[in-house]
């Protein structure tokens, strides 16, 4: 069997068109959705990420501001900037790009963001809302994965989902989202014994470890759906995921490629969350 691709670029395009339409409707009511992206220091990967986020906003008709600060910025100054953005009515979403320089307590900065503007979904109030099924912002990457499953009409009820990875940004919220859709969820991680025995039982596998070839064809049940959150480089320096794509695509029913899979969906869901924040603020 050769798996069907779940195309993150195509789905993003469709969802971003919807965002642009809803943004136009809000603008007609006098509200332009606004995102503030804060970057501290000169991490090269972060610079690329924030540029892409700001560009995506512009392309969808959202207002965005990029605030760049020296790596020597103090924690107190950053907290003061966050507070100013919390009180800025033209800003509906605030994103502080991670990682932050070591002298700044990232968790403290995240908790300083107003939960109403926490479009990354990293605040403990957002995590608590997800856990209890209350309204709040969902972290963009696992939210994008849920949209990808929705796009193929996948019914998660009673299905076994195995999430590989337990980060606060992907693995844990991913597990909660799948649980909310009535999947039976297993979270595997670096200390898990016999990962293959678990993945072979899975109807859905989400690989979110950050290591190449964590999932190979012999670990996948025929017909399973495989979502690859990984962003790694292979020996030739080419972008690749956590999944051995060439092998697994012969076993799975659906699979996300890297690049062009989950990656573009993360930024798309940031736009969706920012729009949602602006809609909530205007109601």
Q: Does 281 help bind ligand GUN (rule: CB under 6 A)?
A: no
Least Cβ distance, residue 264 to ligand GUN (angstroms): 13
241 is in an annotated binding site: no
Contact 229, 262 (CB under 8 A): yes
Interface residue with ligand GUN, options 118, 120, 242, 244 (CB under 6 A): 120
Question: Which residue, 56 or 140, has its beta carbon nearer to ligand GUN?
Answer: 140
Helix (H, G, I), strand (E, B) or coil at 228: strand
Question: Which residue, 96 or 149, has its beta carbon nearer to ligand GUN?
Answer: 96
| DSSP-assigned letters across all residues of 183-225 | -EEEEE-TT-S-HHHHHTT-SEEEE-SS-TTSB-GGGS-TT-E
Q: Does 256 help bind ligand GUN (rule: CB under 6 A)?
A: no
253 is in an annotated binding site: no
Least Cβ distance, residue 44 to ligand GUN (angstroms): 13
Cα 143 to Cα 116: distance, rounded to the nearest angstrom: 17
| DSSP-assigned letters across all residues of 25-67 | HHHHTT---EEEEEEES--HHHHHHHHHHHHHHHHTT-EEEEE
Q: Does 96 help bind ligand GUN (rule: CB under 6 A)?
A: yes
Binding region for ligand GUN (CB under 6 A) out of 13-21, 26-34, 92-100, 219-227: 92-100
Helix (H, G, I), strand (E, B) or coil at 143: helix
Cα 45 to Cα 139: distance, rounded to the nearest angstrom: 20
Least Cβ distance, residue 98 to ligand GUN (angstroms): 4
Report the side by side order of strands in the sheet with 184-188. 4-5, 254-255, 225-228, 204-207, 160-164, 184-188
Q: Does 98 help bind ligand GUN (rule: CB under 6 A)?
A: yes
Q: Does 97 help bind ligand GUN (rule: CB under 6 A)?
A: yes
Least Cβ distance, residue 233 to ligand GUN (angstroms): 16
165 is in an annotated binding site: yes
Tokens of 263: 């990656």
Binding site for ligand GUN (CB under 6 A): 95-98, 120, 140
User: Which residues carry a binding-site annotation for NADP(+)?
Assistant: 165-167
């Amino acid at each position: 069997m050769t798996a069907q691709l779940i195309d993150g670029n195509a789905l993003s395009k469709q969802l971003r068109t919807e965002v642009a339409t809803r943004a136009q409707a809000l603008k007609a009511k006098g509200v332009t959705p606004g995102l503030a992206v804060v970057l501290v220091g000169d991490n090269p990967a972060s610079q690329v990420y924030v540029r892409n986020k700001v560009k995506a906003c512009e392309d969808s008709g959202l207002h965005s501001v990029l605030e760049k600060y020296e790596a020597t910025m103090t924690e107190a100054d950053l907290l003061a900037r966050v507070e100013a953005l919390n009180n800025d009515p033209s800003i509906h979403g605030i994103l502080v790009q991670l990682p932050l320089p070591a002298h700044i307590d990232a968790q403290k900065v995240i908790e300083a963001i107003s939960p109403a503007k926490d479009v990354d979904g990293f605040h403990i109030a957002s995590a608590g809302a997800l856990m209890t099924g209350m309204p709040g912002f969902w972290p963009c990457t696992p939210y994008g994965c849920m949209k990808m499953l929705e796009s193929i009409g996948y019914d998660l009820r009673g299905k076994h989902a195995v999430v590989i990875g337990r980060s606060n940004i992907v693995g844990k919220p991913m597990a909660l989202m799948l649980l909310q859709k009535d999947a039976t969820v297993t979270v595997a991680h670096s200390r898990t014994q016999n990962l293959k025995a678990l993945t072979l039982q899975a109807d859905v596998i989400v690989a979110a470890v950050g290591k190449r070839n964590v999932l190979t064809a012999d670990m996948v049940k025929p017909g399973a759906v495989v979502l690859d959150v990984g962003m790694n480089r292979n020996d030739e320096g080419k972008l690749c995921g956590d999944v051995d794509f060439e092998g697994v695509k012969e076993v799975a029913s659906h699979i996300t490629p890297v690049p062009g899979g989950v990656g573009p969906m993360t930024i798309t869901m940031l736009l969706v969350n920012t729009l949602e924040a602006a809609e909530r603020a205007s109601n």
